[in-house]
Amino acid sequence: MLTMWVTRVAALCAAAAALGGCATPALVDPRDPFEPANRAVFEFNEGLDRTVIKPVAQVYRAVLPQPVRTGVRNFYGNLWDPWIGVNNLLQGKVEWAMSDMFRFAVNTTFGLGGINDVATDMRLEKHNEDFGQTLGRWGIEPGPYLVLPVLGPSTVRDGVGLIADTFGYLPWRIPTWRKWNHYVAWRNSLTALGFVSLRATLLDAESVVEEAALDKYSFVRDAYLQRRRSLIYDGEPPPEPAPEHGGNTALPDDLATEPSRAVAPAWAARAAPADDTGGGRAPGAFAPGALQLVDPRIPANYVAVLAAAGRPHDERKEARK
């Protein structure tokens, strides 16, 4: 698979070079400069999933009844909530951070160690935050797309975030709590069960992806990058000109011939010309003046902005009254 791909790229490069064009930029997706290596890891992950992880998840689902599986999922979700709160705090979302801490307190006590998600019933909505998102909120670019062994899709920024996340994840804090004899076994078992639980919840969704994707690798990549961008903006990202990687045809001459584009990072791709959203109306229309970087920054009045936008935290306020 990989060899085929490399051969194909090589052939295409040669052809492009022969035509006197700039070979690499036409073929390399600027967001994914390590595509050959990523594809190899992706194939490895797929194989591992097919032979080990998925069968285990299927057994897990077949053996345990739904309420037990929900309890396990809630338990793990609860362990993440303090770290989610810390990240909301780092992003300046104080009210959300308080809500996350309150969720953890309520679920750990009344929810019997997190098995019951009573906080959601109290309209304390669960949030989705991690350190990669915090870095994104601080204006740090994702950098090249990466497929990590076992863990799957990521980017340079999100990979760094992931390292920080392991520090914030409670089971990985066990060793620092106390040095008892079996802590490594406990920690690893907890992590493994969490992984299987997560995989089991995906069994249905997976069939949809399998059916939808023409090329699963690029489907997953494009979905991941969009999803991360959406998460950084908490579901309301500013409109983004859709990057067109169809080749030089999409580029004005000055950009297409610029040598540095071969290694252009993700933000360059975003600044690259895009097809207008009205494909039928004006395909390929390109207005250089319309290009702008759309990276997140923390607005000073973030809470006020959220309030004005009628975000969920308003609903929580309502609920508390």
Partner 1 sequence: MMVRICAALLAATLAAPVAAQHIGKDTAPDVLVKRVADEVLDIVRKDKEIQAGDRAKTIALVEEKVLPHFNFTRMTALAMGINWRKASPEQQKLLVTEFRTLLVRTYSTALTNYRDQTIEYKPLRAQPQDTDVTVRSQVRQAGAEPIAIDYSLEKTDAGWKVYDVSVGGVSLVTTYRDTFAQEVRKAGVDGLIKTLGEKNRQLHSTS
Q: Which residues bind partner 1 (CB under 8 A)?
A: 8, 27, 29, 70, 73-74, 77, 117, 120, 125-128, 151-154, 158, 198-199, 201-202, 204-209, 211-215, 218-224, 226-227, 229-231, 235, 237, 242, 244-247, 249-250, 275, 277, 279-280, 283-284, 310, 312
For residues 167 and 62, the answer to whether their CB atoms sit within 8 Å is: no
Return the SS3 of 150.
Answer: coil
Least distance between partner 1 and beta carbon 205 (Å): 3
For residues 278 and 299, the answer to whether their CB atoms sit within 8 Å is: no
Query: How do 145-148 and 152-155 pair as beta strands?
Result: antiparallel
- Closest by CA to 79, choosing from 114, 125, 130, is 114
Q: Which residue has 């997140």 as its token pair? A: 296
Residues with Cβ < 8 Å from 50, sequence gap 6 or more?
none
- The pairs formed by 219-226 with CB atoms below 8 angstroms and a separation of 24 or more are 220/42, 220/152, 220/153, 221/32, 221/38, 221/145, 221/153, 224/145, 224/153, 224/154, 225/31, 225/142, 225/145, 225/155
Nearer to partner 1, 172 or 224 (CB): 224
Q: How far apart are CA 210 and CA 219, in angstroms?
A: 10
Nearer to partner 1, 64 or 183 (CB): 64
Nearer to partner 1, 43 or 244 (CB): 244
Least distance between partner 1 and beta carbon 263 (Å): 19
Least distance between partner 1 and beta carbon 178 (Å): 29
Residues with Cβ < 8 Å from 114, sequence gap 6 or more?
74, 75, 76, 77, 78, 79, 107, 108
Least distance between partner 1 and beta carbon 181 (Å): 32
Least distance between partner 1 and beta carbon 247 (Å): 6
Nearer to partner 1, 122 or 183 (CB): 122
Q: How far apart are CA 114 and CA 76, in angstroms?
A: 8
Nearer to partner 1, 67 or 176 (CB): 67
Token pair, residue 124, equals 């304390």
Nearer to partner 1, 133 or 190 (CB): 133
Least distance between partner 1 and beta carbon 100 (Å): 11
Nearer to partner 1, 153 or 171 (CB): 153
Least distance between partner 1 and beta carbon 61 (Å): 13
> What residue type is assigned to position 313 of the chain?
H
